[in-house]
Amino acid sequence: MKSVEERLRKLPELAESTGLQADEQLKRKILRAAQAKQGRAGGFALRRLAPALCALVILAGAAAYFVPRIGGQKKAPLLTSQPAGQVQVGEKLAWDVPQGSISIKASKNPSYRSIWAPASGGNFPLVGVKGSYYRLLTNPTAISDDLLGEALGTVDTFTSEPALAGTGGICSNTAAQGETVYAVRGMEGALAAAKVEGKMRVFQRVSFGDWALMGRETLADTLRADSAVALELSGMGTVNDPAEARRLIGILTENAQLLRSGGGESNRSLLIQLENGVVIQMAVNGERLIACGTWACPEFFEAFQEALQ
């Protein structure tokens, strides 16, 4: 029989291998389990183990607190992940809630983080809908049908060279031929959705092949971020107040000037968390923002800096 001391030495290894989350909720579950077993056969052994498991909560929590400080600098996580389709609500798991799997967390100097799916073989994962192109987002990893708007059509061309597919139909190098492409409710023209490997995934409107706006579209049409609840600008900070986030988005969409149809990426990003839980992105280069075209808006950066003070 292993001693309590031996168990305690094994706790960090146990936590890492099992994926236990050291929090107050886990502690309460352990204590309730121990109390329920009192008076039953074997209850004595469980009660002896409960203090050790509670110690796991303390040790794992302490490890999470101190490990980021190695090297003398705290690096707070900017984005928090959770299993797609599962959202913790009090003591219960809510299934099929259409929130994303990433939430923006406050940080004074957030580092660059891209949530656009990376390119492969020179092309990023996309769907093209009659001349508009949408890039696959890594967040959320899946959405429920409640978030789907009207059907835009089905993928009629699956090709690794979408630029050669023309603008008359729907093409993709990611969603299989025959898959239905949908608008995302409330985000028509800015987001699209289609099944990728059996999961309904979200795509964001971007430039492709120097093609961006169609007709009289503006940044507001291709971004549709008026329901923003939080903003994260790498290298500057995070705004978590929904009213302030929407004010800043208003400044951006009202003052942004189109510089060119083409885009590109940089080592900075603006992440925008929406009310429906989806997070969208613009790449940032100086005072230029890039998604569906490249836009200049010094007023937005000035207002963002003021909002942080």
Q: Which of 44, 69, 94 is the last residue of a domain?
A: 69
Beta bridge partners of 158: 172
pTM of the model: 0.67
Q: Is 96 a domain residue?
A: no
Same domain? For 265 and 131 the reply is yes
Are the CB atoms for 135 and 204 separated by under 8 Å? yes
Are the CB atoms for 97 and 49 separated by under 8 Å? no
On the question of a cis peptide bond just before residue 83, with omega within 30 degrees of 0, the verdict is: no
Q: Is 76 a domain residue?
A: no
- Give the model's pLDDT for residue 228: 96
Residue-level pLDDT, tens digit, the chain, 309 residues:
555 556 555 555 554 544 455 555 554 555 555 555 454 444 444 444 444 444 444 433 433 333 333 233 332 223 332 333 333 323 222 223 334 456 687 778 899 999 999 987 778 999 999 999 999 999 888 999 999 999 999 999 998 877 676 667 999 999 999 999 999 999 999 999 999 999 999 999 999 888 899 989 999 999 999 999 999 999 999 999 999 999 999 999 999 999 999 987 788 999 999 998 899 999 999 999 999 999 999 999 999 999 998
Q: How far apart are CA 254 and CA 124, in angstroms?
A: 29
Q: What is the DSSP string of 58-110?
A: HHHHHHHHHGGGTTS-----SEEE--TTEEEETTEEEET----SEEE---SSP
Same domain? For 20 and 168 the reply is no
* Domain range enclosing 17: 4-69
Q: Is 43 a domain residue?
A: yes
Are the CB atoms for 289 and 259 separated by under 8 Å? no
| DSSP 8-state assignment for residue 46 | H
